[in-house]
C-alpha cells in the first residue's frame, strides 16, 4: 500500500530533470503512482507554484505526497522540509511553495528538515535537490517511511510563508487579472473599492473598506485566487 505522489516543478520539458526524478522515485517505491501536476511553472516563480499546488488539492488523491520544487534558493541555506497537513504529506524547499496548499488543508501539523543519510542521495549536488533530496524523500514517504525518520523536527510556525518570503512585494498587485492597490490599513483604501493589506498574521488580505471583498470580486469560499506583482 503506497501513497501516490503529486509532482510539480519549474523544470520544464527540455531536460531530463523530471524523468530523472521519476527514476529515483521508481528505485525506492516501484509501485507508487506519480501524477505530474505540471512542470511548466514559470522558472523560479514560487508564488505561481504555490498557487497551482493549492488549487490542485480538491482534485488530487487525499492521501498523496505532494512534492513541489520551485527553488530559487537552492544552494543557499534555505531548509529542505517535509510536513504533514491533514491527510496529505508534502515535500519541498522551505520557501513558501508548500504553504498555500498546507493552509488549504488546515495548516501544518508537523514538519521535519530532510537530512537522513538513509534518504538523501550522496553526494548531494549543489543544484539538483529535486533528484537528490526531494524525490527520494517523497518516495520514502510514499513507501511508508514515518515523517520523523527523514530528519529532526522543525517548528511548523518557523516555516516560510509567501509574505515572509517577500514574493508579494510591490505597490500594486494583480488579483485574478484585476489590478488592486496595496495599502497599509483598511483606512488608506478608497471606500467600497477592493485593495490589499497585510493582515495581523502576515498574510496578504484582499479587502474592501466598508464592503465585502468576496462580493466585490465574485469569489466564494474555496475559490482559487492568483496574485501577481503588478
- Would you say 82 and 150 are in contact if contact means Cβ atoms under 8 Å apart? yes
- Would you say 140 and 28 are in contact if contact means Cβ atoms under 8 Å apart? yes
- Scan for cell 471583498, then name that residue: 213
Does the footprint of a copy of itself cover residue 14 (CB under 8 A)? yes
Identity of the residue, 21 or 197, whose beta carbon is nearer to a copy of itself in the bound complex = 21
DSSP label of 124:
P
Q: Which stretch binds a copy of itself (CB under 8 A): 5-13, 85-93, 137-145, 199-207?
A: 5-13
C-alpha cell read off for 201: 498574521
Q: H-helix or E-strand containing 108?
A: none
State how far the Cα of 161 lies from the Cα of 133, in Å rounded to an integer.
Answer: 21
C-alpha cell read off for 57: 488539492
- In the complex, the smallest distance separating the C-beta of residue 166 from a copy of itself, rounded to whole angstroms, is 25
Which 131-190 positions form the footprint of a copy of itself (CB under 8 A)? Answer: 131
Q: Which stretch binds a copy of itself (CB under 8 A): 59-67, 68-76, 140-148, 208-216?
A: 59-67
Identity of the residue, 36 or 193, whose beta carbon is nearer to a copy of itself in the bound complex = 36
Q: Which stretch binds a copy of itself (CB under 8 A): 6-14, 99-107, 112-120, 185-193?
A: 6-14
Does the footprint of a copy of itself cover residue 60 (CB under 8 A)? yes
DSSP label of 131:
I
Q: Which stretch binds a copy of itself (CB under 8 A): 50-58, 142-150, 182-190, 198-206?
A: 50-58
Identity of the residue, 55 or 78, whose beta carbon is nearer to a copy of itself in the bound complex = 55
Identity of the residue, 13 or 186, whose beta carbon is nearer to a copy of itself in the bound complex = 13
- Would you say 3 and 60 are in contact if contact means Cβ atoms under 8 Å apart? no
SS3 10: coil
Does the footprint of a copy of itself cover residue 126 (CB under 8 A)? no
- Would you say 5 and 67 are in contact if contact means Cβ atoms under 8 Å apart? yes
State how far the Cα of 158 lies from the Cα of 147, in Å rounded to an integer.
Answer: 17
Q: Which stretch binds a copy of itself (CB under 8 A): 19-27, 81-89, 166-174, 183-191?
A: 19-27
- In the complex, the smallest distance separating the C-beta of residue 21 from a copy of itself, rounded to whole angstroms, is 8
- In the complex, the smallest distance separating the C-beta of residue 178 from a copy of itself, rounded to whole angstroms, is 18
Q: DSSP states of 185-220 as a string?
A: SGGGSPTT-EEEEE-TTS-EEEEETTS-HHHHHT--
* Contact footprint for a copy of itself (CB under 8 A): 4, 6, 8, 13-16, 18-20, 22-24, 26-27, 30, 33, 35-38, 40, 52, 55-56, 59-62, 131
Amino acid at each position: 500500500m503506497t501513497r501516490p505522489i503529486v509532482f510539480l516543478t519549474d523544470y520544464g520539458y527540455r531536460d531530463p530533470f523530471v524523468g530523472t526524478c521519476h527514476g529515483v522515485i521508481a528505485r525506492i517505491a516501484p509501485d507508487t503512482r506519480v501524477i505530474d501536476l505540471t512542470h511548466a511553472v514559470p522558472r523560479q516563480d514560487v508564488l505561481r507554484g504555490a498557487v497551482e499546488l493549492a488549487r490542485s488539492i480538491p482534485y488530487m488523491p487525499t492521501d498523496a505526497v505532494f512534492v513541489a520544487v520551485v527553488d530559487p534558493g537552492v544552494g543557499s541555506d534555505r531548509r529542505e522540509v517535509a510536513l504533514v497537513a491533514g491527510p496529505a504529506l508534502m515535500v519541498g524547499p522551505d520557501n513558501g511553495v508548500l504553504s498555500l496548499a498546507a493552509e488549504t488543508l488546515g495548516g501544518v501539523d508537523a514538519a521535519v528538515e530532510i537530512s537522513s543519510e538513509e534518504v538523501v542521495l550522496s553526494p548531494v549536488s549543489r543544484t539538483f535537490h529535486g533528484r537528490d533530496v526531494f524525490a527520494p524523500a517523497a518516495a520514502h514517504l510514499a513507501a511508508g517511511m514515518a515523517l520523523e525518520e527523514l530528519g529532526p523536527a522543525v517548528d511548523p510556525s518557523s516555516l516560510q510563508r509567501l509574505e515572509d518570503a517577500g514574493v508579494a512585494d510591490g505597490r500594486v498587485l494583480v488579483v485574478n487579472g484585476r489590478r488592486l492597490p496595496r495599502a497599509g490599513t483598511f483606512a488608506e483604501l478608497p471606500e467600497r473599492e477592493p485593495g490589499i493589506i497585510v493582515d495581523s498574521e502576515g498574510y496578504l488580505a484582499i479587502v474592501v473598506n466598508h464592503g465585502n471583498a468576496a462580493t466585490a470580486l465574485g469569489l466564494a469560499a474555496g475559490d482559487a485566487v492568483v496574485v501577481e506583482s503588478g
